[in-house]
Amino acid sequence: MAREFSSLKQMDTPVKVLFTGYLTTVAVGYLMALIQILFTHGMADGKFGLSIDDIVYSYYGNRSGTMLETQLNGAMKENASEQERFTIIQWVRDGADQDDFVDRGVDKIIENRCVMCHNKDASIPNLSDFKVLKEYTKEDEGATFSSLTRVSHIHLFGISFIFMFVGLIFSFSETSTIKYKCIAIGMPYVFLLVDILSWWLTKLDPIFAWLVIVAGGGMAVSFAFMWTVSVAEMWLFERVFLGADGQPRPQWSTIVEAKFKQIGGEAAAKKFVELLKQAGVYAWSKFQSQGLPFLKDLYVKIVKKDK
């Protein structure tokens, strides 16, 4: 039996202000996160804008070069001149010898261009320490498993809370059917799990890089939809959802569903699900062939270290 509840348009004004304040703040935060992605992952290939190559370089790595080269040609490109970057890269390719580090003036470039941020007091790698710098002259293998573990648990906890409150507010909307409200509220969590999983899969095989973009886009669309409907129902209900005669317009979900069937959306959705199943089978095979052996080796190393 359905229970009665106050819809968003019926909420008291203080509650509407509370909900709107939260939604606005979260939306600005989401926008800042997207901008941050553009200036970090989006510069991995040296070009502004997020691409498949950016995703591959960030998680799988640029196996044709070193970590230092990838950064100098990507996100850190603007922090040094072309000649300075050439000097560092040439030093790396010649073996990254400590004597050459001083003789070629690489130490001065690092000191003037990098250490202002990458120092011992910062949370990022301390490049004033040659041993740390030397580690970045090795083959670029992308994100480490330890960093993926750290970022994964932060995202899972943090973003889950964001979507819980956004979904809670959206659940008071009345312009969509229960079916589509459930889909809209549940989809961000599905995309979040797929997004995190896709990082790990891309680390194992670059073929999964496209999945990172699809999952991230799915979360963004879900967020934008719930945000827009919630704000519109609270403050623009009559303008958006009522006709000129003051009567409610047909529910958008009914219209969308009819159009979706008309353009063959059901067949496309089934095909997409089938592709996801195939991707899952492939991912499991990659985990068995690469991920599982890595975990076993890691376990052996930990056990030996404890002994």
For 217, phi and psi rounded to 5 degrees? -65, -40
21 against 51, higher pLDDT: 21
Supply the pLDDT for residue 1: 39
- Residue 139, strand partner residues: 66
Supply the pLDDT for residue 70: 82
Locate tokens 């230092």: which residue?
68
Supply the pLDDT for residue 264: 76
Average pLDDT on 83-91 reads 89
Supply the pLDDT for residue 136: 85
Q: Residue 252: which pLDDT band, with cuts at 50, 70 and 90?
A: low
Burial track 227-250 (b if 16+ CB lie within 10 A, e otherwise): bebbbbbbeebeeebeeeeeeeee
Domain boundaries, the chain: 8-28+143-263, 62-135, 270-307
Q: Could you give the residue ranges of the DSSP H alpha helices within the chain?
A: 13-39, 52-55, 67-72, 82-93, 98-103, 106-113, 130-135, 145-170, 178-204, 209-235, 237-241, 252-262, 265-286, 292-306
Give the C-alpha separation, 272 to 266, whole Å. 10
| pLDDT tens, position by position, 120-156 | 888 788 888 888 888 888 888 888 888 899 999 999 9
Helix/strand/coil for 252: helix
Supply the pLDDT for residue 4: 63
Q: Does the pLDDT value for residue 113 go beyond 60?
A: yes
Q: Which of 20-29, 146-155, 250-259 has the lowest mean pLDDT?
A: 250-259
| pLDDT tens, position by position, 26-75 | 999 999 999 999 888 888 777 788 889 999 988 998 877 788 888 888 87
| Prediction pTM value | 0.75
Give the C-alpha separation, 175 to 129, whole Å. 59
* DSSP output for 193-217: HHHHHHHHHHHH-GGGHHHHHHHHH
Q: Are the beta carbons of 59 and 39 closer than 8 angstroms? A: no
Q: Residue 3: which pLDDT band, with cuts at 50, 70 and 90?
A: low
Supply the pLDDT for residue 55: 92
| pLDDT tens, position by position, 179-198 | 889 999 999 999 999 999 99
Give the C-alpha separation, 233 to 242, whole Å. 11
